Structure 1
Amino acid sequence: MSIPHLFRCPISLDIFTDPVTLCTGQTYDRQCIERWLADGHRTCPVTMQALGDATALVPNRTLRHLIDRWLSAATTDQHHHLPESDPSLAALKRCLLSDATAAAAKTAALEKVMALASESDVGRACMLQLGFLSVLLPLVFRAAPADRPGRAEEELALQCALSLMPSSPAAPQLDCLNVLKKEASLASFVRLLERGSGRAKAGLCRLLETVATAAATRDLALIVAASPRVWQALLPLLQRQDGPAASDPRASEAAVRAIAAVCATEPARGSAIHHGVVGALFRHLTWWAYGKGGGAVSSALAAVEALAETEAGRRAVARAPGATRVLVRHVFMMSSTNDGSEHAAAALLAVCRESRAARSEAVDAGVVTQLLLLLQSQCGARAKAKARALLKLLKSR
């Protein structure tokens, strides 16, 4: 079974949790449409009809009732997936919550959660509505000695949690991620990030990316960004993909995206710079430039651009060995979106505005040719504006 189209919010594409209707007759999840309006939009996202002052949100109780009835019926239809003795999601939840549940039974329950989430949109929607995320995350971040057995169970619980994660950063269910505000939970996060499998590390980085972008975890994002232990566990994942210290490629790319998400928040940038993020990003980009590094190049360049918006970030870029040449290499990238080129040009412009040495180094590295190629490509308006501004700056040096 699939979730009926009318039960999905047109913004998040997730099942409605609190449907409200605009004056245009279109229904949205309350969190999503409030975020849309808070960003300054005054049009209906679907019809693009101007709203003016008519931004009142009317609860759609009829739709909420229909969804509740459908979820109830859908849960009943999933009996064949659940334990024969008590075929209900409530029983599955009780099994995971109970400290008296044997390890083998808890693992079996997690496997059932994973099967339901991956095989059925209905199962995923039901478990999300029933609060399974708030049950699974404590299983991942349990306070325990580092040498305690059971890491496989933690990693399975992590994969289950990721399979239920809402796609919208405004989803209220993401509030349960604030369990990481507890010191013991954050310590468990770091321990698993240091010692878990490559798949687990990639999953934790995805979780960190969600924390950095979700509305419900803004305070947590700053706590995580200020933690030296988090950075000490995260930055080694960007290491070169050969030798005994190599990180899993999936974990490396996920780590770059997580770092970019964290650095997009201005208050977190100072901590990121202090803990050596700039140097780690440029080492990652250097290896990629020579065909030996990871693939999340655009995200790495986005992080560099965000950091270069601060004075401390520009100084860090100027001190990083070969940073200017690395940025020049990425000014013109053969890709379908040219996002990386845009970020590289923007970062280079920020650094060159304040450093005559950086301007000279960029010219020596062939930036003018790269910029002209970028201007002739199908890049976006912002990339072209940055390229023109950089050419004008270099001309007057």
Structure 2
Amino acid sequence: MSVPHLFRCPISLDIFTDPVTLCTGQTYDRQCIERWLADGHRTCPVTMQALGDGDTTVLVPNRTLRHLIERWLSAATDHSLPESADDDPSLAALKRCLQSDATSVAAKIGALKKVLALASESDVGRACMLQLGFLCVLLPLVFHAAPAAPAERHAEAEELALQCALSLMPSNAAAPQLDCLNMLKKEDNLASFVRLLGRGSGRAKAGLCRLLETVATAAATRDLALVVAASPRVWQALLPLLQQHAGPATDARASEAAVRAIAAVCAAEPARGSAIHHGAVGALFRHLSWWAYGKGGGAVSSALAAVEALAETEAGRRAVARAPGATRILVRHVFMMSSSNDGSEHAAAALLAVCRESRAARSEAVGAGVVTQLLLLLQSQCGARAKAKARALLKLLKSR
């Protein structure tokens, strides 16, 4: 579609999703102007007019523009709809094809491929589909009762629908469209999620873990995150993925995505007890034990972040103390030769939490060479928090 100039944010050049107006009279997409101001800019991006301290916090919703955009979207897609999306590639036809129970699986697969192509090629197309409610149409195609006769075509449709949903997922954790994910609160839909997580392809498993990470971080799904974290079936399907890092590339991606999902879930304090109860600590350390010194990248950093979060609880510290070789594994990751010191920071923080309560852990850490690791960390370009944790741990070990 040819998007009217006034419907595009002057910063991103994408169609407005949440237009707000500054005191200068210029309208921007909320996410774009908030990022501009957060970066320290104190001018209007279009007029370069200086903004006062109070002006940077006053963002007035432009409801008129938003209404005009919604009317334009409706007018652009609301016309005589054919029986098949093959005859009419409009968004309305695609949406109708996906929503209809009478549409064959083959026809839905064709429509999903068009949605995926449009979402991949065009930011405007992605924004339009998000505003037209495609996310709420796609998710039921992923999470539904298993077909009576399992078929490859059904599995293909589920995976395509999942890819489409992920491609439309808003990056803003406060986006209202993420409320659609709350459909997983229903027992049947959550059961479908678990089924796919356990039996789907490696690509589908990775996608579901990305979806779980979104659920754990989005404002609209806080209650759902606790429901998911409390489900034994979710943990039974999720934790085995951590041990698939040495398999095919698709399984390795699923393993890394699972680690990030667990870290996101464990960031919420109410979810930690359930994670510990279902064996997350042992699974995380088995995952960490596989990686050689300085290897593993984001997967290791995320696993260590999860361990740190769990070690903040008494039950988590007990679980770490029981995990075979846990102290030595943490020591090994205190100084990580990588572009980011996040993993080192998490390892030092987790080790400090465990050593504060366990003399045996302190002795084992010293025997594993933690002092050398901490000194190397302090000499590196690590952040202030990592250095503070390293100094506190050295002080604790000195007084043991």
TM tier, smaller: 0.7 to 0.9
Q: Residues of 1 paired with 2:367 and 2:351: CA distance?
A: 14
User: Match of 1:137?
Assistant: 139
User: Match of 1:147?
Assistant: 152
- Provide closer, same or farther for how the CA distance between residues 365 and 164 of structure 1 changes in structure 2, counting only shifts above 3 A: same
Partners of 2:120 and 2:167 within 8 A in 1: yes
Partners of 1:31 and 1:172 within 8 A in 2: no
Which digits, 9 at most, give the CA deviation of each residue in 1:189-215, with x for residues without a partner?
A: 000001100000000000000000000
- Provide closer, same or farther for how the CA distance between residues 12 and 196 of structure 1 changes in structure 2, counting only shifts above 3 A: farther
Partners of 2:244 and 2:251 within 8 A in 1: no
- Provide closer, same or farther for how the CA distance between residues 138 and 59 of structure 1 changes in structure 2, counting only shifts above 3 A: same
Partners of 2:245 and 2:256 within 8 A in 1: no
How big is the shift at 1:88?
1.8
How big is the shift at 1:144?
9.0
Q: Residues of 1 paired with 2:150 and 2:218: CA distance?
A: 30
How big is the shift at 1:25?
6.3
- Provide closer, same or farther for how the CA distance between residues 21 and 149 of structure 1 changes in structure 2, counting only shifts above 3 A: closer
User: Match of 2:194?
Assistant: 190
- Provide closer, same or farther for how the CA distance between residues 133 and 195 of structure 1 changes in structure 2, counting only shifts above 3 A: same
Q: Structure 1: give runs of 5+ residues left out of the alignment.
A: none
Partners of 1:140 and 1:157 within 8 A in 2: yes
Say if 2:272 is the partner of 1:269.
yes
Partners of 1:284 and 1:293 within 8 A in 2: no
- Provide closer, same or farther for how the CA distance between residues 11 and 389 of structure 1 changes in structure 2, counting only shifts above 3 A: farther
Partners of 2:263 and 2:306 within 8 A in 1: yes
1:289 aligns to what SS in structure 2?
A: coil
Partners of 1:10 and 1:46 within 8 A in 2: yes
Q: TM-score, normalised by structure 1?
A: 0.85
User: Match of 1:335?
Assistant: 338
How big is the shift at 1:237?
0.2
- Provide closer, same or farther for how the CA distance between residues 210 and 61 of structure 1 changes in structure 2, counting only shifts above 3 A: same
Let me know the Cα RMSD of the aligned residues. 4.4
How big is the shift at 1:9?
7.4
Q: Residues of 2 paired with 1:26 and 1:123: CA distance?
A: 24
Question: 298-307 or 26-35: which moved more?
Answer: 26-35
Q: TM-score, normalised by structure 2?
A: 0.84
Partners of 2:294 and 2:337 within 8 A in 1: no
**Residues 1-397 of structure 1: pairs in structure 2 closer than 5 A:** 16-23=16-23, 55-61=57-63, 63-64=65-66, 67-68=69-70, 86-142=88-144, 150=155, 152=157, 154-242=158-246, 248-289=251-292, 296-397=299-400
- Provide closer, same or farther for how the CA distance between residues 25 and 355 of structure 1 changes in structure 2, counting only shifts above 3 A: farther
Q: Residues of 2 paired with 1:288 and 1:25: CA distance?
A: 54
Partners of 2:276 and 2:310 within 8 A in 1: yes
Partners of 2:265 and 2:271 within 8 A in 1: yes
- Provide closer, same or farther for how the CA distance between residues 90 and 236 of structure 1 changes in structure 2, counting only shifts above 3 A: same
How big is the shift at 1:286?
0.3
Q: Residues of 1 paired with 2:149 and 2:9: CA distance?
A: 40
How big is the shift at 1:62?
5.5
Q: Residues of 2 paired with 1:334 and 1:11: CA distance?
A: 37
- Provide closer, same or farther for how the CA distance between residues 54 and 102 of structure 1 changes in structure 2, counting only shifts above 3 A: closer
How big is the shift at 1:253?
0.2
Question: 32-41 or 253-262: which moved more?
Answer: 32-41
- Provide closer, same or farther for how the CA distance between residues 53 and 116 of structure 1 changes in structure 2, counting only shifts above 3 A: closer
1:34 aligns to what SS in structure 2?
A: helix
How big is the shift at 1:87?
3.6
Partners of 1:31 and 1:171 within 8 A in 2: no
Tell me the number of residue pairs that the alignment of Structure 1 and Structure 2 aligns. 392
- Provide closer, same or farther for how the CA distance between residues 167 and 45 of structure 1 changes in structure 2, counting only shifts above 3 A: farther
1:83 aligns to what SS in structure 2?
A: coil
How big is the shift at 1:150?
4.0
How big is the shift at 1:65?
5.7
Q: Residues of 1 paired with 2:14 and 2:280: CA distance?
A: 34
- Provide closer, same or farther for how the CA distance between residues 39 and 378 of structure 1 changes in structure 2, counting only shifts above 3 A: closer
Which digits, 9 at most, give the CA deviation of each residue in 1:15-64, with x for residues without a partner?
A: 54332335576756568999999999999999999995985542224643
Partners of 2:105 and 2:154 within 8 A in 1: no
